[in-house]
């Protein structure tokens, strides 16, 4: 064995986004592209000699190749141990769990989350720090800075390591440990939720369907739901992780998880339905003929925290991303705790959790989690809902309706315009910002503008400032329109428009959300000129 230093030239497009670096597979397959990024990452870290690195991913195309490259580069850059999940299958929440449990130096997660997979689709890589959470901006910016000047990388000249068999492989002082990527996560869930109560729930005849979308959570859901809790075989569908997700778009929403939605709104639908995304950190919750908006899901979980044994002592606080509806604020107010508003990106919750400021966090983009790890967690959210159902013995629709009657309903929706021209998208946002001064006090339909700005956040723990996080149009009655360009796609730009209005009157809480928000939808389109600037007459996805 020997260490090679391979000459290379920089790439100009390796700036990590909110969830690492995501590009088409063909981009990563370029000679030295992955190696350069990994070397830039390792060069941004200090004190790695002899330390442990956790490694795994969602099983999408190119994961197996990337894993072998990273093992060889970790050896060459001084790590003492790489813990790689068997077959490379490791959900993002499980990676966070393992990093924290074994006090690893950090971890590399290979995933493009909810983006499509396959040879012609997307691949991604991100680094999580020793607290189990996504790398903060100071690290991602350091990676980018080094990627622009990199002229070589280090890699060990060794054979590929068999990651299909549990056990250790020794290469000099370096160890590759192939571990079960599921067991540690399952054991953590048992400390948070009463599995005996959930077994009784399924034994009582309770029915559900979990659609893993041929992504990473299939093995986790089968182990927990079918093996541990006794749900009937077949409760988990599309449960085998596939490199191309079986042609499915692994994004658990009303558009891309349509098969599950149709099933839950069909004849003889089960009591409960759920889905998760490519890497397992997102979730969608459904009842029999009932869809739970992710913002409502966060609020309901917080309001019913006592149903889960791991949270029965109370919540330290709640946090939500800025675009997420204010439904969680109503719960926080009732509980007498603080609700923090952060930029989009789970890393912003990490400081709050590490400082014991919050227990449960959530984003409107189908992500919910708690301080048990430092990532959002799709399977955790499903188990929390099962605990609520077991405790309250009501249907999903009854639980949500009761919540609205107690706290009021935050009518809420997100409209996504995907794959639009980046220049047009940036022009739209710049035009909106040019109107800020004139919008203050302006009348838009029946609404009066209170604040028009671009959201900025000062971290209450470390004082760091994050700017340009989304254009906000806030009205005097509490209604909101938010415009934001997403950083999770790989083709063009995605414009997300968030719409919200609060309805305390129980007699007016049972409208269809799109109907209730129709006036705000029109105002949002007219104000930004969405149709004229993007050429899109309607959103790609509505949630």
pLDDT per residue over 428-457, tens digit each?
999 999 999 999 999 999 999 999 999 999
Q: Please give the mean pLDDT across all residues of the chain.
A: 96
| Tokens 């509505």 found at | 542
Q: If we measure between CA atoms, which residue out of 486, 460, 461 comes closest to residue 323? A: 486
* Structure token pair of residue 47: 């004190």
Q: Which of the pair, 346 or 196, is modelled with greater confidence?
A: 196
For residue range 69-84, what is the model confidence (pLDDT) as tens digits? 999 999 999 999 999 9
Q: What is the pLDDT of residue 181?
A: 96
Asked whether the predicted pLDDT for residue 488 surpasses 70, the reply is no
113 is catalytic: yes
CA atoms of 93 and 350, how far apart (whole Å)? 13
Give CATH for domain 185-407: 3.40.120.10
Q: Which of 369, 353, 357 is nearest to 332 (CA)?
A: 357
Measured in whole angstroms, how far is the alpha carbon of residue 308 from the centre of its chain?
22
Q: How far is C-alpha 532 from the chain's CA centre?
A: 31
Its pTM stands at 0.94
DSSP secondary structure of 411-472:
EEEEEEEEEE-HHHHHHHHHHHHHTHHHHTT-EETTEEEEEEEE--EE-TTT--EE----EE
Q: According to CATH, what is the number of the domain 3-180?
A: 3.40.120.10
Number of residues in the chain: 543
Q: Do domains 3-180 and 185-407 have the same CATH topology?
A: yes
| Domain formed by 409-542, architecture | 2-Layer Sandwich (3.30)
pLDDT score for 17: 84
Q: What's the pLDDT band for 487 if we cut at 50, 70, 90? A: low
What are the pLDDT digits (tens) for 408-427?
999 999 999 999 999 999 99
Which among 44, 113, 295, 325 is annotated as catalytic?
113
Sketch the domain layout of the chain as residue ranges.
3-180, 185-407, 409-542
């995907």: which residue's tokens?
418
> In the predicted model, is pLDDT for residue 19 greater than 90?
no
- Over residues 312-321, the pLDDT tens digits come to 999 999 999 9
Rounded Cα gap, residues 93 and 402, in angstroms? 31
């Amino acid at each position: 064995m020997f260490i090679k230093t391979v000459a290379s030239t920089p790439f100009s497009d390796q700036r990590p986004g909110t969830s690492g670096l995501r590009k088409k597979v063909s981009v990563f397959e370029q000679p030295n592209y992955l190696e350069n990024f990994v070397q830039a990452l390792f060069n941004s870290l200090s004190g790695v000699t002899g330390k442990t690195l956790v490694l795994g991913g969602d099983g999408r195309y190119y994961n197996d190749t990337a894993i072998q490259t990273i093992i060889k580069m970790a050896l060459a850059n001084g790590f003492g141990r790489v813990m790689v999940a068997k077959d490379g299958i490791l959900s993002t929440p499980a990676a966070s769990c393992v990093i924290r449990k074994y006090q690893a130096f950090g971890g590399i997660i290979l995933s493009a989350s909810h983006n499509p997979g396959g040879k012609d689709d997307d691949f991604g890589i991100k680094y999580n720090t020793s607290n189990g959470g996504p790398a903060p901006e100071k690290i991602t910016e350091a990676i980018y800075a080094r990627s622009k000047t990199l002229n070589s990388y280090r890699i060990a000249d060794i054979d590929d390591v068999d990651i299909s068999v549990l056990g250790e492989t020794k290469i000099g002082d370096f160890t590759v440990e192939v571990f079960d990527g599921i067991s540690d996560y399952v054991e953590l869930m048992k400390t948070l939720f009463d599995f005996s109560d959930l077994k009784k729930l399924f034994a009582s005849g309770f029915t559900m369907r979990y659609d893993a979308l041929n992504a990473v959570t299939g093995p986790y859901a089968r182990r927990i739901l079918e093996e541990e809790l006794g749900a009937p075989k077949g409760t988990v569908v599309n449960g085998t992780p596939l490199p191309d997700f079986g042609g499915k778009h692994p994004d658990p929403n009303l558009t891309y998880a349509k098969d599950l939605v149709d099933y839950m709104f069909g004849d003889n639908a089960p009591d409960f339905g759920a889905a998760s995304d490519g890497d397992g950190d997102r979730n969608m919750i459904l009842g029999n003929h009932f869809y739970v908006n992710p913002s409502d899901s966060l609020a309901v979980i917080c309001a019913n925290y006592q149903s889960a044994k791991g949270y029965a002592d109370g919540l330290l606080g709640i946090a939500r991303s800025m675009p997420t509806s204010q439904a969680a604020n109503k719960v926080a107010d009732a509980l007498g705790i603080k609700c923090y508003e952060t930029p989009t990106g789970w890393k912003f919750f990490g400081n709050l959790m590490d400082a014991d400021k919050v227990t449960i966090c959530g984003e409107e983009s189908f992500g919910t989690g708690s301080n048990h790890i430092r990532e959002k967690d799709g399977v955790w959210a499903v188990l929390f809902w099962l605990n609520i159902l077991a405790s309250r013995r009501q249907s999903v629709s009854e639980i949500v309706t009761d919540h609205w009657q107690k706290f009021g309903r935050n009518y809420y929706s997100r409209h996504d315009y995907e794959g639009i021209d980046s220049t047009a998208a940036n022009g739209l946002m710049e035009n909106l910002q040019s109107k800020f001064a004139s919008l203050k006090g302006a009348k838009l339909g029946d609404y009066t503008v209170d604040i028009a700005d671009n959201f900025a956040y000062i971290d209450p723990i470390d004082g760091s400032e994050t700017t340009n996080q989304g254009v906000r149009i806030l009205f005097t009655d509490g209604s909101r329109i938010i415009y934001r360009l997403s950083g999770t796609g790989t083709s063009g730009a995605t414009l997300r428009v968030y719409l919200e209005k609060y309805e305390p009157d129980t007699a007016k809480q049972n409208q269809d959300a799109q109907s209730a928000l129709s006036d705000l939808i029109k105002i949002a389109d007219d104000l930004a000129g969405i149709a004229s600037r993007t050429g899109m007459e309607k959103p790609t996805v509505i949630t």
